[in-house]
Chain A
Amino acid sequence: MSEARTNATPTAPTAPLTTPSVTTLPDTASWHDGVVAAVTEGARFAGLYADRDRLIAVLDGDHGFELIETTIERDADGTASYPSLSNEVPPAFWYERAAYDLSGLIPTGHPRPDPLLLPLHPGSDRPAPGAPVTDLGALIVSADTDAPGPVDLRGHGLLTLMFGPVRSGVSESIEFLIETPGEDIPHLNIRPHFKHRGIAKRFEALAPQDAVLVAERVEGIASVAHALAFSHAVESAAGTRVPPRARLLRVVYAELERIANHLECAMRLSDAAGLSVAIARFAWHKELVMRTMSTLTGSRFGRGAVIPGGVRAPRVDPVVAFDADWSRLRNRILDDRRRVMRTSSFLDRLRGTGVLDADYARRWALVGPIGRASAHAVDARWQHPYDGYRSLPLPAEPALDTDGDARARLRVRWQEVDTSFDLIERAVVALDQIEDSRWSGDRPVTVPDGPALGVAEGPQGEVLYSVRFEGGVIARCLARSPALHDLVAFHDAFHTDVFTDFAFIEASFGLSYAGVAM
């Protein structure tokens, strides 16, 4: 079994997360240089967004999370621009396009300043998250849906294949344009805007207890992780102490969600390989995990279970929910995992497929199983431990691999499933021994004005909320999903792979497109 946590978390703060440190720089040039310098010195780039005319970069450095911000002065004609980060800080690539779409801030020198989340009809207003809207109904901005995607490569023998937005079977809507001269895939263009729901704006003016319900729907397959990350932001701002039982039950929910998601990934990889029995078995296991979640919470996705300040009381005693059947389920999953990892027809398709090397993962600051399979050890449970992860024994380090291919991503997930089962088991035992019977704090949570930040490690990776409160409600909320952060690497996972690897690479990424389109 896993080794107990040693001193693997030397920088673990005493409180899970404190208010982020905020550095305000006088102009966009010094902002650009400041962010580049911090990243060069080793800070991890975790996101970029606009709050009205303020441009904010989120970094994770030696002293925890830091916001580096500046205010953009508009030109006489109203345009707002700043020197793009993307050439020096690659992962800014999509964020800068998103900030342009939503807030109209132009990244000068961006290698490809095309719309990403919201291609507007000419003349449409921009939603401008952070700016108060008096009449929400009047703000209907329109996306130009029928325009064909930009085609980058033109030349003899080039074939453009369009996948989506409506694809075969049951899938989320997204479009991939694949431009290929025959078997190789030299270029891929990802267009997630079809299902852009305007998430950022939806958070605004909501009190924390309402906003957490929106957070659960940003990436519906990681509802618990989003509710946790958002609640952490609220709790750190409000100085709320979460009761011990709630901290443990949060771990149970988060790890159930992780197991279900990782089984989904195994299922989709089996599907790509045509292993019908494996698909059926993993689907069966996943269903039982989701039923356990619904036994405890009333929701198969654990919705409504995590609230700022704690959790709702479970519907049944967790000791009852995790009975002998649960142990049998664990063993069956273990059996099937061994079997699939010994099926050579399966492994042959995964090995060397969709490789992202360690240097790439570090430069693009990839999170989640995608990053960890390429030796980039980002996992909030270790680096910013919260809730029950602070007291339960964790392995010395997060699951890691160095191969960076689809097989490595699956191996990392299997290792995490092991840890998830261990954590659930220990959390349930520990729950039984706690005298404090409270599931949430006794005082209503009230938030002071100002910035707050919260993270949680979801199945797909770090979920991050950067929030500005004003008058007890949300004035601006960045819901940064791991999907938006990592999907950009999909462009670069195809170097030499044949076209038929597409399904394997997509399944091995295992990302939610709702979380990309926002």
Chain B
Amino acid sequence: MAWAPHGLANGTVTTKWPRRPDAYFDDFPASVEVVVPEDAAPAADAAVLAAANACPTRAIAVEAGEVSLDRGRCILCGRCTRLAPETFRFEPGSATASLGREGLIVGAHEENDEALQRLRADLKARVRHLGRSVHIRHVDAGSDGSDEWELQALSSPVYDIHRLGIFFTASPRHADILMVTGIGTDGMAGPLRRTLDGMPEPIVVMAVGTDAVSGGLVGGGYTDGIGIAPRLASGGRGVDVWVPGSPASPFSVLHGILLALGRVDESGLRTRRGGRA
């Protein structure tokens, strides 16, 4: 049986994002939003307090009557959206990655623009020298297995990251981006450190999925997995791009990669650098 002519002759299956909008990118409920009423801080009424208490990962904070939600902890269980639908609602759109950990906190929260500018400039300087093809090394540091499915999907014809010059590589030595999934178990501390040591500069480090960002729901137990940042900090590295999601969907991961490379911005729109990609 010949496979070759068979191909994918069922119309174009590959997304055109980020060159063109993609309905699945735009519609997927990849995050929870805190609804801020006009002229007022989000109200911390009884329903909001109930939601904050019921959140399984303590992602919702109510301080001095003001509400914030940490997407880096949120596992998208939807409980808050049912208990306090006026304040919390699922937000369609896959542009969820952030260059700073702080950027994942939404609601009554002072965004530190200066800090973000600095992060952006620093990253820009580091990725400037990357060629047109970019290589990613993935390490699972204690995932539930779903994160890896979503990363593999990026190589499928639907997302086809090769069209953007992005490839997963087998060797740390040829990698530009280190992508880590999982809660950061104690058992993976050594292997993760060795992978980092084998990587050249400049590198970008991405924490992919809520587990990697904060430990998510499963982390925080006796294996000390509260996200990958503490594991990397002991090796003197920081996380550059944070991608929330339980797991992060392929489009959110792709948003994170292109954000790291400066080809799209936080909201997923193409930058000038992205124009030539």
Within the assembled complex, what's the spacing in Å between the Cα atoms of A145 and B220? 19
Q: Which residues of A are found within 8 Å of B29, using beta-carbon distances?
A: 298
On whether the beta carbons of A197 and B185 are closer than 8 Å, the reply is: yes
Question: Known contacts A213-B77, A298-B78: does B222 contact A198 (CB below 8 Å)?
Answer: yes
Is there contact, CB below 8 Å, between B140 and A287?
no
Q: Does A210 contact B (CB under 8 A)?
A: yes
Whether A5 sits at the interface, judged by CB under 8 Å, is: no
Q: Please judge, given known A-B contacts A173-B140, A277-B7, A278-B3, whether A194 and B187 are in contact too, CB under 8 Å.
A: yes
The residue in chain A whose Cβ has the minimal distance to the Cβ of B1 is A342
- A25 contacts the other chain (Cβ, under 8 Å)? no
Measured between beta carbons, the chain A residues less than 8 angstroms from B171 are: 168
Closest B residue by C-beta to A343: B1
Binding site for A on B (CB under 8 A): 1, 3-4, 6-8, 10, 13, 24, 28-29, 56, 75-78, 90, 138-153, 155-158, 168, 170-171, 182-183, 185-192, 194-195, 216-225, 246-247, 249
- A510 vs B219: C-alpha distance when bound (angstroms): 25
Contacting residues, chain B, for A171 (C-beta < 8 A): 138, 140, 148
Choice from A169, A214, A277 contacting B218 with Cβ under 8 Å: A214
The reply to whether the CB of A392 lies closer than 8 angstroms to some CB of chain B is: no
Contact of B142 among A197, A304, A312 (CB under 8 A): A197
User: Is A202 a contact partner of B145 (Cβ separation < 8 A)?
Assistant: no
A301 to B78, CA, bound (A): 15
Which of A198, A201, A277, A287 is B3 in contact with, Cβ under 8 Å? A277
Cβ-Cβ contact count across A and B, 8 Å cutoff: 179
Cα A139 to Cα B223 with chains together (Å): 9
Q: Is A218 located at the chain interface by the 8 A CB criterion? A: yes
- Cβ of A317 < 8 Å from any Cβ of B? no
Interface stretch, picked from A49-57, A219-227, A379-387, A425-433, is: A219-227
Given A202-B221, A221-B145, A146:B182 Cβ within 8 A: no
Besides A140-B186, A166-B191, A286-B153, 10 other CB < 8 A contacts? Answer: A136-B221, A170-B148, A173-B140, A194-B142, A195-B140, A197-B221, A213-B75, A275-B3, A284-B156, A514-B143
Q: Which residues of B contact A438 (CB under 8 A)?
A: none
CB distance from B83 to the nearest CB of A (A): 12
Determine how close the nearest CB of chain B comes to the CB of A144; give it in whole angstroms: 9
A48 to chain B, nearest CB (A): 21
Option from A146, A220, A299 in Cβ contact (under 8 Å) with B147: A220
Interface positions of A (Cβ within 8 A of B): 127, 136, 139-143, 145-146, 165-166, 168-173, 193-199, 201-202, 210, 213-214, 217-221, 223, 264, 275, 277-278, 280-281, 283-284, 286-287, 290-291, 294, 298-301, 303-304, 312, 332, 339-340, 342-343, 512-515
**A514 nearest CB across to chain B (Å):** 4
Residues of A within 8 A of B13 (CB): 284
- Contacts A169-B168, A169-B170 given; indicate if A196 touches B223 (C-beta within 8 A): yes
Nearest chain A CB to B235 CB, angstrom units: 14
| Minimum CB–CB distance for B182 against chain A, Å | 6
Closest CB pairs A-B (n = 8): A220-B146, A220-B144, A168-B170, A283-B156, A145-B190, A198-B221, A194-B187, A514-B145
A217 touches B144 (CB 8 A): yes
- Complex Cα distance, B144 from A299, in Å, reads 15
Closest Cβ of chain A to B43, distance in Å, is: 25
Question: How many Å from the CB of A185 to the closest CB on chain B?
Answer: 22
A172 partner residues in chain B, CB cutoff 8 A: 140, 143, 145, 148
Among A277, A291, A514, point to the contact of B144 (Cβ < 8 A): A514
Whole-angstrom CA separation of A339 from B9 in the bound complex:
15
Interface hub of A146, A170, A223, A280 (most chain B Cβ within 10 A): A170
Q: Are B217 and A173 in contact (CB under 8 A)?
A: no
- CB of A217 within 8 A of CB of B1, answer no
Closest CB of chain B to A35's CB: distance in Å?
A: 29
User: Across the two chains, which residue of chain A brings its CB closest to B57?
Assistant: A213
Cβ distance A127 to chain B, nearest Cβ, rounded Å: 5
The residue from B8, B144, B185 contacting A218, defined by CB atoms under 8 A apart: B144
